[in-house]
Structure 1
Amino acid sequence: MTPKVMDAPPAVFAVDDVWRGTWMGPSLVRRGGSTLHYVGPVDSSVPAAEPLPGVLLPGWCDHHVHLQLLPNDARTSLAQGGLSRVIDLGGEPRELSELPVVDAFGVEVVHAGAFLTAPGGYPSDRAWAPTGSWREIASADDAESAVFEQVALGASRIKIALNAEAGPVWSDALLAEVVADIRAVGLPVVAHVEGAGQAARAIAAGVDVLAHAPFSEVLPHELITQAVAQGQRWVSTLAIHADRAAALENVRAFRAAGGEVLYGSDLGNGEQPLGVNQAELAALAEAGLDETAVLRALVGGFGRGRWKKRVTWMLERPASVLDLASAVSVGVGDLESLSERSRRTPGS
């Protein structure tokens, strides 16, 4: 059990290496409450610093998971697999809002509530979709009510479905109404886009995040530059595709134009490890992301990363992107345990 914040005493640690957008080398970090602060390079004039083996990085996030499709004890396994935070992009909102919190310092969970979709639209016909994990919208009045329902149950973003391969999708007018209602409550809009022309519709509507890097077709350069200009971000989810040629080409073009890619695995979709997925890391490398770009995708839009409550630990600096799958997530109050953990780690 992770110590409560008031039980974790202030401390200064001397760490072999720290990543803050770049590798800093041997460094001092200071724990204050539930937050870890970077102090600077190791200084022999700080004799009270406790030696900490291995390397520290900000807490990592999987930006696309479905917790209701995972075992009930998944949060513990997700931390052991290197994740400090997950974003659920579609489930029964009341259940998501009432997830049992065994440990306040466990893996952070934020969610989008239910999929908002057209009547009979995706994922209403999918066997994997739990009852209540989608909300059908047929009118502007439906849209306003559905958005407020998700907000009332704690949604931090709203997800819409534009999957023309699986069923009906909204008209452009109703799509604009749904996006406007989400904007009115101050939340970002996340879209599942699938089928010819659906990515273009999402970009034209001003969607903030695509839940999957577009995979149905190769997007024209002008459309990709428009998405980048609008500040749109794409969640990768590359490894779930048997044929990901179009998605890889789109990601390469998106990044070349200055777009930001977020790490996401669509965890719950098929057999995947409970944690950072090495197959997704390999796919990101195939798309041209180097170590720094992959780490930024894992950190996910928080500058130098989150150093509150949980951080990422590795025994040593990774030799390749694939080595990132060996990371674990550790509570800021549990840093002292890393010395023992390093002695138990094979090959240490």
Structure 2
Amino acid sequence: MPSAVTWFDVRGRAWREGTAAVVDTRVRLTADQPSSGMPRLNGVVAGAFTDSHVHLQLVDVAELAGSTLGRVFDLGGNPEVLAGLRHNSGVLTRTRRVGADYGPILEDSPESCGGIGVEVGFAGAFLTPPGGYPSDRSWAPAGAVREVVDADAAERVVVEMKDAGATRIKVASNAAAGAVFSDEMFAAIVAIAANHSMPVIAHAEGPGEAQRSTRLGAQMLAHAPFSERLTDAELLAMSGSVSWVSTLAIHDGEAYDIAVDNVRRFHAMGGDVVYGTDMGNGPTPVDVNPREIAALREAGIDGDELLRSLAPVDPTSSTSRLLFFPGCATDTADPLLARLLTPADLEP
């Protein structure tokens, strides 16, 4: 029997009324207004969450099936492996979308992961100068790094990533671990990627690298800056041009304190912060990470703002995984209380 339901519309940034019903053994949600006298679901609903920074080759992907994630973005891996993972259940193309779901600039059309209903977008290999990070890291999977020497090589690599299905380009700019691209080379990669309609996401580490990557045209930072406390002027300059992926829980000690403080002030200035965990960096859960949620709350991102940072998939799409917050009202919808919505939840 159909049920009235309150659901979170990430595009409208508001809670709305709709109708949920079981269709072909799965719960479907529509924006249709519930009719008078219709039973009401005891709780609220949202689309499954997005983790905007994962490394799928470093985790057991099968664990995503029982998670509350509906979309992940791999930011550094072997493009052939990731393309195979993305397509191994057949093609389930999503409608191309721009804007709030992914931050202010990015655009993607990810597909299903392993038949478990989780959408996958990816950047493919890290682009780095010869000897640069993470070319010397044992955790980096084979084929996950491309050492780029000049603009011609950058063009070839960007085309390679795009042909593999990547929707963004990952540039390593880690001055704490070796060589980084010159300003001219970094800007050239940004321009080449833009010519192929692909935004650049930077791993910016070391004093000044977050500011430099932003100035040179990166549209997202893969980590909230943690190498130094940014000035208010620097944060304000970033707030209108670049999104940050949080990844706060990978840190401890001083780096954690710096990152949380930077996020707190950046967010207060209107900067866009999206939830991401660097899943695979150590023993991280293949699901929403409670430590990351706690860190975002410590940085002042909570309530509806926290849900927006988790970028739920569109719950009215027929292919979306739906989450249920049992017994919760709109002001108590804690992401850590969410679970997958099942047909049994609609039974009287």
Give me the TM-score of the superposition, normalised by structure 2.
0.83
Q: Following the alignment from structure 1 to structure 2, what is the Cα–Cα distance between the partners of residues 60 and 43?
A: 29
Against the structure 1 CA distance between its residues 306 and 234, is the aligned structure 2 distance closer, same or farther, given a 3 Å change threshold? farther
Distance (Å, rounded) in 2 between the aligned partners of 1:122 and 1:321: 42
Aligned with 1:338 (options 323, 327, 345): 345
In the alignment, the residues of structure 2 paired with residue 86 and residue 200 of structure 1 have an alpha-carbon distance, to the nearest angstrom, of 26
1:318/1:245 CA distance change after superposition, 3 Å:
farther
What is the aligned counterpart of 1:279 among 291, 295, 304? 291
Q: Post-superposition shift, 1:27?
A: 4.5
How far residue 236 of structure 1 moved from its aligned partner, in angstroms, is: 0.4
Mapped contact 1:29–1:39 kept (Cα < 8 A): no
AA at the equivalent of 2:247: T
Q: Which residue of 2 aligns with 1:94?
A: 80
Structure 2 residue identity aligned to 1:190 = I
Q: Report the secondary structure of 1:39's partner residue.
A: coil
What amino acid is aligned across from residue 323 of structure 2 in structure 1?
Answer: T
Q: Does 1:58 align with 2:47?
A: yes
Aligned equivalents of 2:145, 2:172: Cα separation in 1: 9
Deviation at 1:329, TM superposition (A): 3.9
CA apart distance, 1:166: 1.0
Q: How does 1:1-348 map to 2 (within 5 A)?
A: 12-15=2-5, 17-20=6-9, 21-24=13-16, 27-29=18-20, 36-40=29-33, 42-44=34-36, 52-76=41-65, 80-99=66-85, 100-101=88-89, 104=115, 106-230=117-241, 232-243=242-253, 244-299=256-311, 305=314, 307-308=316-317, 309=319, 310-317=321-328, 323-330=334-341, 335-339=342-346
Counterpart residue type for residue 76 of structure 2? G
Distance 1:151 1:121 in 2: 22
- CA 1:30 to 1:248, structure 2 compared with 1: closer, same or farther past 3 Å? same
CA 1:103/1:146 → structure 2, altered by over 3 Å: closer, same or farther? closer
Given that 2:29 and 2:315 are in contact with CA atoms closer than 8 Å, whether structure 1 keeps it comes out as no
Deviation at 1:159, TM superposition (A): 0.7
Range with greater deviation from structure 2 (314-323 or 247-256)? 314-323
1:36 CA displacement? 3.2
CA distance in 1, matches of 2:165, 2:332: 34
What SS is found at the alignment partner of 1:96? helix
Deviation at 1:105, TM superposition (A): 5.6
Amino acid at match of 2:3: F
Could you tell me which amino acid in structure 2 is paired with residue 36 of structure 1? L
The letter of the residue matching 2:186 is L
Structure 1 residues 226 and 280: alpha-carbon distance in aligned structure 2, compared to 1, 3 A threshold: same
Q: CA deviation at 1:319?
A: 9.5
Post-superposition CA distance 1:249-301 (Å, at most 9, x none): 1111211211111000111011122211111000000001121111000016x
Counterpart-to-counterpart distance in 1, 2:192 and 2:167 = 14
Distance in 2 between residues matched to 1:37 and 1:219, nearest whole Å = 44
Structure 1 residue 137 displacement after superposition: 0.5
Change (3 A) 1:322 1:219: farther
CA distances 1:188-218 after superposition (whole Å, capped 9, x unpaired): 1111100011011111112111111000011
Question: How far did residue 323 of structure 1 move?
Answer: 4.0
Partner AA of 1:245 in structure 2: D
With over 3 angstroms needed to count, the CA separation of the structure-2 counterparts of 1:262 and 1:306, relative to structure 1, is farther
- In structure 2, do the counterparts of structure 1 residues 322 and 57 end up closer, same or farther at CA, with 3 Å as the change threshold? closer
Task: Give the SS at the match of 1:219.
Answer: coil
Which residues of structure 2 form unaligned runs of 5+? 90-112
The one-letter amino acid paired with 1:131 is: A
Question: In the alignment, residue 168 of structure 1 is paired with which amino acid?
Answer: A
Do the aligned residues in 2 keep the contact of 1:82 with 1:325 (CA within 8 Å)? no
Structure 2 CA distance, aligned partners of 1:66 and 1:153? 17
Gaps of 5+ in 1: 1-10, 344-348
- Percent identity of equivalent pairs: 42
CA distance in 1, matches of 2:283, 2:301: 24
1:158-184: CA deviation from partner (whole Å, max 9, x where unpaired): 111000111110111111111111111
Ranges of 4+ aligned residues in structure 1 off by more than 6 Å:
30-35, 318-322
Amino acid at match of 1:299: A
Q: Evaluate the alpha carbon distance shift between residue 321 and residue 216 of structure 1 in structure 2; reply closer, same or farther with a 3 A threshold.
A: farther
Moved more, 54-63 or 278-287: 54-63
CA displacement, residues 302-348 of structure 1 (integer Å, 9 cap, x when unaligned): 8xx45322222222327998942232345xxxx524347xx9xxxxx
1:127 Cα offset (Å)? 1.0
Q: CA deviation at 1:103?
A: 5.5
Alpha-carbon distance in structure 2 between the residues aligned to 1:286 and 1:268:
23
Distance 2:283 2:248 in 1: 14
Alpha-carbon contact 1:55-1:315 (below 8 Å) kept? yes
Letter matched to residue 290 of structure 2:
Q
Structure 1 range deviating more: 85-94 or 317-326: 317-326
CA RMSD of aligned residues (A): 2.6
Q: How many residue pairs are counted as aligned between the two chains?
A: 314
